[in-house]
Chains A and B, each alone.
Chain A
Amino acid sequence: MNENGKPKFGMYWASSCGGCEISVLNIGEHILTVDEVFDVVFWPVATDFKYEDVRGYPDGYIDLCLFNGAIRNSENEEMAHLLRQKSKVLVAFGSCAYEGCIPALANFTSREAIFQTVYLDSPSVDNPGRVIPQPVTAVPEGQLHIPEFYNTVKSLDQVVDVDYTIPGCPPEPHQIWAVLQVVVAALTQGAELPPKGSIIGAKETAVCDECLHPKSEKKIFRFYRPYEKVPEPGVCLLEQGIVCMGPATRGGCGALCPQVGMGCRGCYGPLGGVADQGARMLSAVASVIGVGEPEMDERMLEREFETVMDTLVDPAGTFYRFSMAHSLLKRAKIKD
Chain B
Amino acid sequence: MPQERIGVYVCHCGSNIAGTVDVEELTAWAGEALRHRGVVVARDYKFMCSSLGQDLIAKDIKEDALTRVVVAACSPHLHEATFRKACADAGMNPYLCELVSIREQVSWVHTDKAAATAKAKAVISGGVERVIHHAPLEPMSVPINPATLVVGGGIAGIQAAMEIADSGFHVYLVEREPSIGGHMAQFDKTFPTLDCAACILTPKMVSIGSHPHITLLTYSEVEQVDGYVGNFNVTVRKKASYVNSDLCTGCSVCEEKCPKSVIDPVFEAGLGYRKAIYRSFPQAVPKFPVIDADNCIYFDTGKCKACEIHCEAGAIDFEQEDQILELNVGNIILATGYDLFDARRETQYGYGRLANVFTSLEFERLTNAAGPTNGNIVLRDGETTPKSVGIIHCVGSRDRKFNNYCSVICCMQSLKFAHLVKERTGAEVFNFYIDMRTAYKEYDEFYQRVLSEGVHFIRGRVAEVTDVSNTPEEEDKLVIQIEDTRIGRQRRIPVDMVILSAALEPRHDSDEVAHQFGISCSVNGWFIEKHPKLDPVATMTEGIYIAGCAQGPKDIPSTVTQGAAAAARVLGRIQQKEMALEPIRAEVTEALCSGCRICNNLCPYTAIVFDEAKEVSVINAALCQGCGTCVAACPSNAISGTQFSNEQVMAQLHGLLMLNIMEPVVS
Question: A and B bound?
Answer: yes
- B477 contacts A by Cβ under 8 Å: no
Given known pairs A248-B635, A294-B512, the reply for A275 and B646 (CB within 8 Å) is: yes
CB of B524, distance to nearest CB on chain A (Å): 11
Cβ 8 A contact of B636, one of A208, A219, A287: A208
CB–CB A280/B635 < 8 A: yes
Residues of B within 8 Å of A274, CB to CB, are 637, 646
- Measured CB to CB, the nearest residue on chain A to B602 is A287
Which of A160-168, A191-199, A210-218 lies on the face that meets chain B?
A210-218
Measured CB to CB, the closest approach of chain A to B403, in angstroms, equals 14
State A113–B153 Cα separation when bound (angstroms): 69
B591 within 8 Å of A by Cβ?
yes
Contact A218 B600 (CB under 8 A): yes
Among residues of B, the one whose C-beta sits closest to the C-beta of A297 is: B523
Asked whether, in the complex, the Cβ of A275 is within 8 Å of the Cβ of B596, the reply is: no
How far does the Cβ of A96 sit from chain B's closest Cβ, in whole Å?
Answer: 23
Output the least CB separation between B661 and chain A (Å).
21
Say if the beta carbon of A272 comes within 8 Å of chain B. yes
B309: Cβ under 8 A from any A Cβ: no
B601 and A217 within 8 A (CB): yes
Q: Per-residue CB proximity of B253-297 to A under 8 Å, as 1/0? A: 000000000000000000000000000000000000000000000
Contact A218 B635 (CB under 8 A): no
Cα A275 to Cα B654 in complex, Å, equals 13
Whether, in the assembled complex, B192 has its beta carbon less than 8 Å from a beta carbon of chain A, the answer is: no
Of B126-134, B154-162, B626-634, the one contacting chain A is B626-634
A18 vs chain B, min Cβ distance (A): 31
Chain A contact residues: helix, strand, loop or mixed: loop
Q: Which residues from B are CB-within-8-Å of A219?
A: 601
Contact between chains at A218 and B597 (CB < 8 Å): yes
Among A209, A215, A246, A280, point to the contact of B637 (Cβ < 8 A): A280
**Contact: A246 with B633, CB < 8 Å?**
no
Cross-chain contact of B594 among A205, A272, A287, A298 (Cβ < 8 A): A205
Residues from chain B with a CB closer than 8 A to the CB of A215 are 595-597, 615
Among B591, B598, B602, B650, contact of A205 (Cβ-Cβ < 8 Å): B591
Residue of B511, B592, B637 near A294 (CB, 8 A) is B511
B515 interface residue, CB < 8 Å from A? Answer: yes
A118 CB-CB contact with B under 8 Å: no
Q: Name the A residues within 8 Å of B596 (CB-CB).
A: 206, 208, 215, 218, 236, 238, 246-247, 284
Cross-chain contact A287 with B515 (CB below 8 angstroms):
no
Q: Which residues on the B side are within 8 Å of A148 (C-beta)?
A: none
Encode B505-536 as 1/0 by CB contact (under 8 A) with A.
00000011011000000010100000000000
Which chain B residue has the least Cβ–Cβ distance from A217?
Answer: B600
- Counting chain B CB atoms within 10 Å of each CB, the highest count among A206, A216, A219, A274 belongs to A206
A273 closest partner in B (C-beta): B637
Q: Determine which residue in B523, B591, B595, B615 has the highest number of CB atoms from chain A within 10 A of its CB, and name it.
A: B595
Contact at A248–B633, with CB atoms within 8 Å? no
For residue B526, give the distance in angstroms from its CB to the closest CB of chain A.
13
Closest B residue to A298 using CB positions: B523
Cα separation A99 to B29 with both chains bound (whole Å): 39
Whether, in the assembled complex, A295 has its beta carbon less than 8 Å from a beta carbon of chain B, the answer is: yes
Q: A218-B598, A294-B512 are in contact. Are A205 and B636 (CB under 8 A)?
A: yes
- Residue in chain A with minimal CB distance to B615: A215
The 0/1 profile, CB within 8 Å of A marked 1, for residues 207-238 of chain B is: 00000000000000000000000000000000
Asked if A176 is at the interface (CB within 8 A of a chain B CB), the reply is no
> Given A217-B601, A294-B511, A294-B515, are A284 and B595 also a contact pair (CB < 8 Å)?
no
List which A31-81 residues lie within 8 A (CB) of chain B.
Answer: none
Any chain B CB within 8 A of the CB of A169?
Answer: no
In this assembly, does A313 line the interface, its C-beta being within 8 Å of a C-beta of chain B?
no
The CA-CA distance from A271 to B636 in the complex, in Å, is 6
> Which residues on the A side are within 8 Å of B633 (C-beta)?
283-284, 287-288
* B597 near A217: Cβ-Cβ < 8 Å: yes
Residue of A nearest to B610 (CB): A217
Is chain B's binding surface mostly helix, strand, loop or mixed? loop
Shortest Cβ gap from B122 to chain A (Å): 19
Task: Check B637–A271 contact: CB distance below 8 A.
Answer: yes
Inter-chain contact A247/B591, CB cutoff 8 Å: no
Residue of B nearest to A249 (CB): B635
Decide if A247 touches B646 in the complex (CB within 8 Å).
no
Q: Nearest CB to that of B647 among chain A residues? A: A273
In the complex, residue of chain A having the shortest beta-carbon distance to the beta carbon of B598: A284
A262-285 contacts to B, CB under 8 A, are 270-275, 280-281, 283-284
A325 to B523, CA, bound (A): 41
A236: B residues at CB distance < 8 A: 596
Counting CB contacts under 8 A, is A121 at the interface?
A: no
Residues on the B chain within 8 Å of A209, using CB: 593-595, 636
Give the docked Cα–Cα distance between A208 and B598 (Å). 11
Whether A248 lies near B636 (C-beta < 8 A) is yes
A302 at interface, CB cutoff 8 A: no
A62 to chain B, nearest CB (A): 35
Contact A205 B629 (CB under 8 A): no
Q: How far is the CA of A329 from the CA of B515 in the complex (A)?
A: 36
Give Cα A204 to B591, complex, Å.
Answer: 9
Asked if A272 contacts B637 (CB within 8 A), the reply is yes
Bound complex: CA A275 to CA B646 (Å): 9
Complex CA gap A209/B589 in Å reads: 13
* Least Cβ–Cβ distance between B93 and chain A, in angstroms: 24
Find the B residue at minimum CB distance from A238: B596
On whether A295 and B635 interact (CB within 8 A), knowing A205-B594, A273-B646, the answer reads no
Chain A: minimal CB distance from B468 (Å)? 35
One of A204, A281, A294 near B635 (C-beta < 8 A): A281
Residues in B neighbouring A275, C-beta threshold 8 A: 646, 650
Instruction: Name B578-627 residues within 8 Å CB distance of A.
Output: 591-602, 610, 615
Q: Which B-chain residue is minimally distant from A280 (CB atoms)?
A: B635
How many angstroms from the CA of A151 to the CA of B65 in the assembled complex? 51
Least CB separation from A283: chain B residue: B632
Shortest beta-carbon distance, B334 to chain A, in Å? 15
| Bound Cα distance from A205 to B615, whole angstroms | 13
Q: Hey, which chain B residues are within 8 Å of A218, CB to CB?
A: 596-598, 600
Distance, CA A206 to CA B610, complexed state (A): 17
Q: How far is the CA of A273 from the CA of B637 in the complex (A)?
A: 7
CB of A247 within 8 A of CB of B602, answer no
Chain B residues within 8 Å of A298, by CB: 523
A236 to B594, CA, bound (A): 13
Chain B 373-392: CB-based contact to A (< 8 A → 1; otherwise 0) = 00000000000000000000
| CA distance in complex: A279, B131 (Å) | 25
Chain B residues with CB under 8 Å of A284's CB are 596, 598, 633-635
In the assembled complex, the Cα of A205 lies from the Cα of B590 at a distance in Å of 10
Tell me which residues across on chain A come within 8 A of B593, comparing CB atoms: 209
B594 partner residues in chain A, CB cutoff 8 A: 205-209, 246-247
| In the bound complex, CA of A206 to CA of B646 (Å) | 18
B615 proximity list for chain A (CB < 8 A)? 215
Q: How far is the CB of B347 from chain A (nearest CB, A)?
A: 20
Chain A residues in 8 Å Cβ range of B592:
204-206, 271-272
Q: How far is the CA of A174 from the CA of B291 in the complex (A)?
A: 72
Q: Once bound together, how far apart are the Cα atoms of A215 and B599, in whole Å?
A: 12
Which residues 214-234 of A have a CB within 8 angstroms of B?
215-219
Apart from A205-B592, A280-B637, A284-B635, what are 16 other A-B pairs with CB-CB below 8 Å? A204-B591, A205-B636, A206-B592, A206-B636, A208-B636, A218-B598, A219-B601, A246-B594, A247-B596, A271-B592, A271-B637, A273-B637, A283-B632, A283-B633, A288-B602, A295-B511
Binding site for B on A (CB under 8 A): 204-209, 215-219, 236, 238, 246-248, 270-275, 280-281, 283-284, 287-288, 294-295, 298
Q: List 22 A-B contacts (CB under 8 A).
A: A204-B592, A205-B591, A205-B592, A206-B592, A208-B594, A209-B593, A215-B595, A215-B596, A236-B596, A238-B596, A246-B594, A247-B636, A272-B637, A273-B637, A287-B598, A287-B599, A287-B602, A288-B598, A288-B601, A288-B602, A294-B515, A295-B511
Residues of B within 8 A of A (CB): 511-512, 514-515, 523, 525, 591-602, 610, 615, 629, 632-637, 646, 650
Of all A-B residue pairs in the complex, the 7 with the closest CB atoms, nearest first, are A294-B511, A248-B635, A208-B594, A247-B596, A206-B594, A284-B635, A287-B633
